[in-house]
Structure 1
């Protein structure tokens, strides 16, 4: 397969590139050249919001677009690549839904097109992808974890647990989690591209794939077992003013938002071949990558840093 990845050097794009190169595909990546490209790819340099001239020539069997900012950029490439590729996969987000819907619902309610945040950008990206003239797959991913994560959620927990000592563990311990390893997302994108599968797909593991308890306990084991997990009631965390998802990454307290993000029906994606590796594999491989880094964990400039202040954590724990 001749594959074009719009991106290809960051988190999800790198996972797609690595998987495609491993399959023996002819892989081209297009990006600004700010990060080293994965081994085995051809690099085209340009700017999604500016110079696209490097994409004016060439043909590919499939395109994977990992863009997550202004949707206009997706429309520009979708139009430019018309007639020169057979398939276009856009990595979108489950954030495009306005409530607890999924891709199987007819005309599932979506966020307002005027939303200026991440959800609005992804929705406009989806609509931009519709300018392509071949099959279009909308990969509405949920929480994405795994090696090369540049948002900091699982890396923050791994580094915190490695530091050891009494550790704020947000309860309840059996709170179910849904997520997708970036490498499993990559496999799905490439498998469906080979078959020309189009349409929207919610892409996370099945509900209950793991729990907050299993995630933190395995992570503690993998990082050396130095942390003492102190399971804490959500009400205590709320009273302390600690924000779920950002200050305590991955975690959401029980409630409507948790049900939406961690209780979704993904039978459509599994019916199309989605497979999700065990949580231990994601944790072990992410820790191996983290400990191999020569410097700081990569952090996307357009996303806020995550994690709770150690002094606030200690105060909640009474330390």
Structure 2
């Protein structure tokens, strides 16, 4: 297959490119060349997706499928999709569970209500609501609508991952946990150790995206590991075993962390108390070909990558808000005695 990846150098896009190359496909990436190095084996077209002349450079070729991993504004996705529709067989858009109106409060299926956003909305549409919808979610919902409006439901595939972990994760959630556990000592472990979690490995997300393009699978899909398969204890135990650490996990109840004002999701990565966070039904994707490796394999693969990179060079601006500081951790642990 002849494939075009919009983006293709960072995390999800990078994994799609690697999976496609490994499968023997012909891959071209379209990006500005600012967010990462090109992957050996791809053809690269430099350009800005917001510039019509740049987009025209990829719209004069025919593509079996386009993977959009860099679309965030509906108006722009609509323009890009319209330019590529005459020459592309399928458009695979990387969306998010944040498009759901009830995320993260309630359990989700693909039939859950999504946020309403016009397909031609600009970057200012939507708003952030505490513990509710976000402008990011509104924008991604509008991007999905732009994709379906242009390519139709049969030729458009919208993937809605929840938490994505794995090698090259720039947000830094799993890398932070790995480094903290590797450092040893008493480690604040959040909430109930038996709390179900269902992050998806970036390599499994990429494989499913490629599968959808290969078999011509359209529609909307939640992409997450199965509900109830693994727990937060499984996750942190894997971090300890993978790093060879002697860290002692100190499980701190939700109410204690909340009383100390610990910021969910950022200061304590992957910890969030809402019912819907780890209750995303992905049975449709699993039936359509999604395969999810155990969390221990994701942890091991990420640790291997973490040890191979220069932390300062790989640090992303979003990673600055991730993780519990040492003084805060000592304060919380002291309150338990």
- TM-score normalised by the chain length of structure 2: 0.88
Q: State which drifts further: 241-250 or 218-227.
A: 218-227
Q: Partner of 1:4 in structure 2?
A: 4
Contact kept in structure 2, 1:4 and 1:29, CA below 8 Å: yes
Contact kept in structure 2, 1:89 and 1:138, CA below 8 Å: yes
Q: Partner of 1:292 in structure 2?
A: 308
- Matched pairs, number: 313
1:295 Cα offset (Å): 3.8
Matched, 1:203 2:207: no
Q: Partner of 2:330 in structure 1?
A: 314
User: What do the CA deviations read for 1:247-302 (whole angstroms, capped 9, x no partner)?
Assistant: 1111112xxx3x31212222111110111001111000000001000342634446
Q: Partner of 2:90 in structure 1?
A: 87
Instruction: State the distance in 2 between where 1:295 and 1:304 align.
Output: 12
Rate the CA distance shift 1:296–1:226 in 2: closer, same or farther, 3 A: farther
Out of 62, 66, 69, the residue aligned to residue 69 of structure 2 is 66
Contact kept in structure 2, 1:56 and 1:80, CA below 8 Å: yes
1:179 Cα offset (Å): 1.4
User: What do the CA deviations read for 1:82-138 (whole angstroms, capped 9, x no partner)?
Assistant: 111111000101111111364542xx4212424242101211111221243360001
Contact kept in structure 2, 1:299 and 1:305, CA below 8 Å: no
Gaps of 5+ in 1: none
More helix by percentage: 2
Rate the CA distance shift 1:119–1:308 in 2: closer, same or farther, 3 A: same
1:303 Cα offset (Å): 6.9
Matched, 1:111 2:115: yes
Out of 147, 150, 160, the residue aligned to residue 132 of structure 1 is 150
Rate the CA distance shift 1:218–1:297 in 2: closer, same or farther, 3 A: farther
- TM-score normalised by the chain length of structure 1: 0.93
Q: Partner of 1:223 in structure 2?
A: 243
Matched, 1:165 2:168: no
User: SS of 1:4's equivalent?
Assistant: strand
Contact kept in structure 2, 1:103 and 1:202, CA below 8 Å: yes
Q: CA RMSD in A?
A: 1.7
Instruction: State the distance in 1 between where 2:202 and 2:252 align.
Output: 30
Out of 68, 80, 96, the residue aligned to residue 99 of structure 2 is 96
Contact kept in structure 2, 1:83 and 1:133, CA below 8 Å: no
Q: Partner of 2:287 in structure 1?
A: 271
Instruction: State the distance in 2 between where 1:101 and 1:171 align.
Output: 19
Instruction: State the distance in 2 between where 1:279 and 1:303 align.
Output: 21
Contact kept in structure 2, 1:60 and 1:84, CA below 8 Å: yes
User: SS of 2:85's equivalent?
Assistant: coil
Q: State which drifts further: 29-38 or 18-27.
A: 29-38
